[in-house]
Structure 1
Amino acid sequence: MSDLNYKKQAQAYYGKAPLIILGSGASAAHGMSGMWALANHLVANTDISSLSDGEVEAWDRFCKILKDGVDLESALHEVAVTDELTSRIIKATWSLINAEDIQIFNKSLQNPRMFPLSRLLRHMFKSSLTKLNIVTTNYDRLAEYACDQEGLHHYTGFTHGFIRHSAAPNEINSARRVNIWKVHGSLDWFKSPHEDTVALSNIQGIPADYKPKIVTPGTQKYHATHLEPYRSIIHSADQAITAANSYLCIGYGFNDEHIQPKLMARCQRQNTPITIITYLLSGAARKLIFDDKVQNYLAIERGATDDQSIVYSSLSEAPLTIEKNIWSLEGYLSLIM
């Protein structure tokens, strides 16, 4: 495969106005903690005071499983935790991710070119498009900050303001808008004392009598995501995935059951083109493009160094090693702009 071919392929797929899928790798590029760092934080910082003996026993078993090298999601599937223990895990998760999120926001105020996603969205809106869709499993607000830096309106299922309430998409109108479908919740979503969900902008801590609305890995998330606001958000994400003519996956590991079914069906049965850029292709991503016979794909991962990329393409039987960074979003932009 020649240098020209993969560039043309990238541009052809991008020309179809891709739906953007952001995974944890997209946030890790800005210093956000991944699953391993989160697991260590939970072990050290989850409040287990006043729990029942059974809950403490479950927690000890969970910590041991983690220390044996099992990943966080698998550990949370192996151990049955009560609603109270789940609530404490959610609070500890929120405290870590929110602190990192606010730190990145503050840095972005000093660096107007901090987010490559800003430049991607700006470039996409140079066309006749009036709406773009982002689907993400991330709790953080980096996608929202990227929109703000570019002066773009964004919609996450809520009204505008400091205390935001649930709103249907047709209630929020603007000439151009980025829909950000956060299928596992967001740092600024809370269950209020009135039992509804509100979004509170960039607060430093969890308000009294409010509970974070983020879904942590484990068996509890299957129940939680059948409730609002997740149900409506996942439905909107499904609609966006079904309507898309192309996909651009950034740091996404292809391990989420809320995104996978529709995405895989479109790529396998309707040959919708997919571009994947990531630090390291996950096993699930490799299975999708190599074992599941996806017809139209371009996957790029980091090589031996940051300045080397490995390109896998449906146009070539063998991977191609490129001596430049095109695996990061910053590097990918050099292919399409």
Structure 2
Amino acid sequence: MSDVNYKKQAQDYYNKAPLIILGSGASAAHGMSGMAALAKYLTENINISGLSTGEVTVWQNFCDKLTAGVDLESALHQVAVTELLTSRIISTTWSLLNTEDINIYHKSLQNQAMFPLSRLLSHMFESSLTRLNIVTTNYDRLAEYACDQARIHHYTGFTHGFFRQLAAPNEINSARRVNIWKVHGSLDWFKSPLDDIVALSNIQGIPVNYKPEIVTPGTQKYQTTHLEPYRSIINNADQAITMANSYLCIGYGFNDEHIQPKLMARCQRQNIPITIITYGLSDAARNLIKDGKAKNCLAIERGASDDQSIVYSSLDKTSVTVERNLWSLEGYLSLIM
């Protein structure tokens, strides 16, 4: 039995005001579809009418890869998807996730305690902090909803209102603010008929002549993220990662090329503390722990049931099983509050 005081370790890392990194697992906890469900939805709902014979062949090849067990991101990297087919993948992805996002929003109107993230942010602001940073690969607006429920201003790169335009960070000021850096875009970002990027709040469908601005996996992902607003968002995320004294990763799989390099460099070369809470550790996260390259690391994943957690600490070579839910954000809060 390990004698490591993981609760003290969690509190020590938390007291350094961590930058929060939200992965798909953070949203899955509220019912958002993950990659597997999205892959199934795409294969069943993509409209192939009007596609060329070559595009239909590419799409069928993609579907065959998914059927063979290749994951969605890998499959999209293995096929040459045209611009037209990419646009249909984006629109279909948007349709699924936006519906789920809006449903969660409506549920939150009836449940003021719905988001543990609200309580985490409020607790962090009980200090002298005036700015917090969230970096996320998610398209959904659950982080924004969590801020709203806690009456905390948030900034995602745009002005406020229903029709929002790009704005520099210093253009919008408030006593306390959470910066939410969405490196893969957001469900409310669109390319307008003027070819600029705007944000439209909680709409049910894609407006005529507008295109969703979310970056789906695939070969065009790298090209898109070199354009605005992604370039500025990623730059701001990089700065936030570089300046952070601690990291709290919630449902993050450690597979994103936009976040990974600087995060790993900071943890491995500068020994910045990192806490990982997740339903199940990804292979990349498990390797980070097993290799011992992150000298200040605490990771907690779900055990055999929701009420069991497996705790991995850089202070001990062996893991410890705890008969408590510590792996969810709700459970993590019981450690640090």
Q: Same fold (TM over 0.5)?
A: yes
Query: How far does the alpha carbon of each residue in 1:239-291 deviate from its partner, in whole angstroms, 9 at most, with x for none?
Result: 00000000000000000000000000000000000000000000010112222
Aligned to 2:216: 216
Q: Distance in 1 between matches of 2:314 and 2:288?
A: 12
Q: What displacement does 1:74 show?
A: 0.5
Correspondences of 1:219-258 after superposition (within 5 Å): 219-258=219-258
Structure 1 gaps of 5+ residues are none
Q: Distance in 1 between matches of 2:46 and 2:117?
A: 33
Aligned to 1:273: 273
Correspondences of 1:17-56 after superposition (within 5 Å): 17-56=17-56
Q: What displacement does 1:214 show?
A: 0.1
Amino acid at match of 2:249: C
Amino acid at match of 1:97: L
Q: What displacement does 1:172 show?
A: 0.6
Instruction: Provide closer, same or farther for how the CA distance between residues 261 and 302 of structure 1 changes in structure 2, counting only shifts above 3 A.
Output: same
Aligned to 1:78: 78
Q: Distance in 1 between matches of 2:263 and 2:287?
A: 14
Is 1:264 aligned with 2:227?
no
Q: Distance in 1 between matches of 2:163 and 2:312?
A: 45
Aligned to 2:283: 283
Aligned to 1:69: 69
Aligned to 2:206: 206
- Corresponding residue pairs, total: 337
Does the residue aligned with 2:154 lie in a helix, a strand or coil?
strand
Q: Is the 8 A contact 2:292 2:314 kept in 1?
A: no
Q: What displacement does 1:292 show?
A: 5.5
Q: Distance in 1 between matches of 2:78 and 2:227?
A: 23
Runs of 4+ in 1 over 2 A off after TM superposition: 1-4
Aligned to 1:99: 99
Amino acid at match of 2:95: S
Q: What displacement does 1:4 show?
A: 6.9
Query: How far does the alpha carbon of each residue in 1:185-222 deviate from its partner, in whole angstroms, 9 at most, with x for none?
Result: 00000000000000000000000000000000111101
Amino acid at match of 1:267: C
Aligned to 1:88: 88
Q: Is the 8 A contact 2:238 2:262 kept in 1?
A: yes
Q: Distance in 1 between matches of 2:214 and 2:11?
A: 35
Does the residue aligned with 2:148 lie in a helix, a strand or coil?
helix
Does the residue aligned with 1:190 lie in a helix, a strand or coil?
strand
Structure 2 gaps of 5+ residues are none
Amino acid at match of 1:98: N
Instruction: Provide closer, same or farther for how the CA distance between residues 214 and 292 of structure 1 changes in structure 2, counting only shifts above 3 A.
Output: farther
* TM-score normalised according to structure 1 size: 0.99
Correspondences of 1:130-209 after superposition (within 5 Å): 130-209=130-209
Does the residue aligned with 1:254 lie in a helix, a strand or coil?
coil
Q: What displacement does 1:3 show?
A: 6.7
Amino acid at match of 1:126: E
Amino acid at match of 2:113: R
Correspondences of 1:255-334 after superposition (within 5 Å): 255-291=255-291, 293-334=293-334
Amino acid at match of 1:234: I
Query: How far does the alpha carbon of each residue in 1:22-45 deviate from its partner, in whole angstroms, 9 at most, with x for none?
Result: 000000000000000000000011
Q: Distance in 1 between matches of 2:95 and 2:39?
A: 13
Q: What displacement does 1:66 show?
A: 0.6
Does the residue aligned with 1:179 lie in a helix, a strand or coil?
strand
Q: Distance in 2 between matches of 1:233 and 1:289?
A: 29
Aligned to 2:110: 110
Q: Is the 8 A contact 2:4 2:315 kept in 1?
A: no
Amino acid at match of 2:233: I
* TM-score normalised according to structure 2 size: 0.99
Instruction: Provide closer, same or farther for how the CA distance between residues 293 and 4 of structure 1 changes in structure 2, counting only shifts above 3 A.
Output: closer
Does the residue aligned with 2:5 lie in a helix, a strand or coil?
helix
Further displaced range: 35-44 or 283-292: 283-292
Q: What displacement does 1:2 show?
A: 5.5
Q: Distance in 2 between matches of 1:2 and 1:261?
A: 32
